[in-house]
Amino acid sequence: MTADLHELEQRASAELAQVSDLQALEQWRLRYLGKKGEVTLAVRSVGQLPPAERPAYGKLANEVKGRLEAAYEARLEVLKQEEVERALRAAAVDVTLPGRRPAVGRLHPSTQTLREIYHIFTQMGFQIYRSREVETDEYNFELLNMPPHHPARDMWDTFYINKDVVMRTHTSPGQIHVMRAYYPEPIRAILPGKCYRYEQVTVRSEHMFHQVEGLAVGKHITMADLKGTMIHFARQMFGPERKLRFRCSHFPFTEPSVEVDMDCILCGGKGCSLCKHTGWLEIAGAGMVHPVVLRNGGYDPNEWSGFAFGMGIERIAMLKNHIEDIRYFFSNDLRFLGQFH
């Protein structure tokens, strides 16, 4: 009889070793350890034995049951683990598949550049002031010290609505507007907006573009302040290592007038096609506000002084983002606009 028990244990152990999933394990358990399982029955069959054999057989039968139960538990643990792993494997994804993206919108590069400029100048106490795009000849030219037929008017190719009304050629009329609005306060203002020129559209020129004018009027404002402000701007905008030079120039509404050049961001001043081999890039026109303009704004030039500057937003963006064609800005091809962050 004990031989039968050994044979049963061997057989059950061998079968258990073959079990590879939880379902087969449950069948195995039912067959051997269930209520009607062979091992359970064998244990129960002890009563039918002669009393002398009962202790030995009973002990062995319980030992066999105990060992098989332990083996079952161990096997169950292993199979559960395997099952979990299998489930995980089945749920794994190809992490290189593209994700589900929310719709993404961006701001136009001119807007992004304007915002950067706003940030830099508002930190210095400049406030944003806007004025109209269709201007009188008076504001666009005359009050800026350019009477009719002044030779400097040739510097701006102008769209006329009629002899008294023009598309503003620069944001400079805003100087007069802001002075008349704020007099007699000191002023630090930047004046952004669209400007228009009678110019053929080419890679380098557009008939519409954005400009930002800057104006500071106070009782102690000097050319040195203009220099410092422009250097601060250039370094914030283009990097702390930037160098500027100030070159004498001419605008009827500033005296003295300067062009502000920055060392070329591409070649660092050695000369390349971007800087037309000069090593310098023109970034702004500037100067001390002409006494006539101050007076036209309501400020006594003997008491007040001021500086003004103007720069083209698309030009700044082109330099910063290495854009080679200004026409990209207003043709609004999404393949261009989508490249900005």
Partner 1 sequence: MRVPLSWLKEYVDIGDISVDELAERLTLAGLEVVGIERIGDWWDRDKIFVGQIVRVDPHPNADRLTLPTVEYGGPEPITVVTGAPNIRVGDVGQKVALALAGAVLIDGYSEDRRKTVLKPTKIRGVRSAGMVCSERELGLSDSHEGILILPDDAPVGMPLADYLGDVVFDLDLTPNLARCFSIIGVAREVAALLGRPLKVEEPTMEATGPSIEGQIDLEIADPDLCARYTAALIKGVKIGPSPWWMQRRLTLAGMRPINNIVDITNYVMLEWGQPLHAFDYHVLRPRPGKTHPPAIIVRRARPGEKMTTLDGVERQLNEDMLLICDGAGPVAIAGVMGGLESEVTEQTTDILLESANFDAINNRRTAQVLRMNTEASARFGRGIAPSMTVRAARRAAQLMRELAGGEIAQGLADLYPRPQQTVGVTFTTAEVERILGVRMSVDEIVDILRRLEFQCRVEGETIHAAVPDHRLDVRIPADIMEELARIYGYDRIPSTLLADELPPQRRFHQLETEEFIRDVLAGCGLQEVITYSLTSLEVEGRLYPEGESPRPADYIRLANPLTSEREYLRRSLKAGLLATAAANLRHTPQVSIFEIGAVFEPVEGELLPREPMRLAMAMAGPRQPLAWHTPAPENMDFFDLKGVIEVLMERLGLDEAAYEPAQEMPFLPGRAAVVRIGEDVAGIFGEVHPLVKERFELPSVPVCLAEFNLDLLVRSAKRTPYVESLPRYPGVAEDIAVVVDREVPAEQVRKAIMEAGAPLLRRADLFDVYQGPQIPENKKNLAFSLLYQAPDRTLTDEEVRRYHQRIVQHLEKTLGATLRA
Residues that bind Zn ion (CB under 5 A): 264, 266-267, 272, 274-275
Of 243, 234, 248, 241, which is closest to residue 316 (Cα–Cα)? Answer: 234
| Residue 283, φ and ψ in degrees, nearest 5 | -115, -20
Task: Taking each helix axis as running N to C, give the angle between helix 109-122 and helix 313-321, from 0 to 180 degrees, rounded to the nearest 10.
Answer: 100
Token code pair at residue 283 = 């970034």
Residue closer to partner 1, measured from CB, 35 or 220: 220
Of 305, 212, 217, 287, which is closest to residue 250 (Cα–Cα)? Answer: 287
Among 33, 79, 274, 337, binds partner 1 (CB under 8 A): 337
Among 33, 152, 274, 323, binds partner 1 (CB under 8 A): 152
First to last CA, the chain: 84
What is the tally of helices (H) and strands (E) in the chain? 12, 10
**What does the H/E/C string look like for 27-45?**
HHHHHHCCCCCHHHHHHHH
Residue closer to partner 1, measured from CB, 28 or 233: 233
**Per CB under 8 A, 208 contacts partner 1:** yes
Please choose, out of 37-45, 68-76, 78-86, 327-335, the segment that lies near partner 1 by the rule CB under 8 A: 327-335
The single-letter DSSP state of residue 283 is E
**DSSP-based three-state secondary structure for 8:** helix
What does 275 interact with, of partner 1, Zn ion, none (CB < 5 to 8 A by kind)? Zn ion
Q: How many residues bind partner 1 (CB under 8 A)?
A: 89
Residue closer to partner 1, measured from CB, 47 or 94: 94
Residue closer to Zn ion, measured from CB, 80 or 322: 322
Among 185, 300, 324, 325, binds partner 1 (CB under 8 A): 185
Q: Is the peptide bond before 50 cis (omega within 30 degrees of 0)?
A: no
Amino acid at 182: Y
Q: How far is the CB of 209 from Zn ion (least distance, A)?
A: 22
**Stretch 218-247: interaction string toward partner 1, x if CB under 8 A:** xxxxxxxx-xxx-xx------------xxx
**Per CB under 8 A, 92 contacts partner 1:** no
What does 50 interact with, of Zn ion, partner 1, none (CB < 5 to 8 A by kind)? none
**Stretch 55-84: interaction string toward partner 1, x if CB under 8 A:** ------------------------------
What does 266 interact with, of Zn ion, partner 1, none (CB < 5 to 8 A by kind)? Zn ion
CA 268 – CA 274 distance, rounded (Å): 11
Q: Using a CB cutoff of 8 Å and minimum separation of 24, what contacts does 233-237 make?
A: 233/117, 233/120, 233/121, 234/260, 234/262, 234/283, 236/120, 237/116, 237/117, 237/120, 237/316, 237/320
Query: What residues between 254 and 283 interact with partner 1 by CB under 8 A?
Result: 255-258
What does 154 interact with, of Zn ion, partner 1, none (CB < 5 to 8 A by kind)? partner 1
**Per CB under 8 A, 110 contacts partner 1:** yes
Q: How far is the CB of 268 from partner 1 (least distance, A)?
A: 17
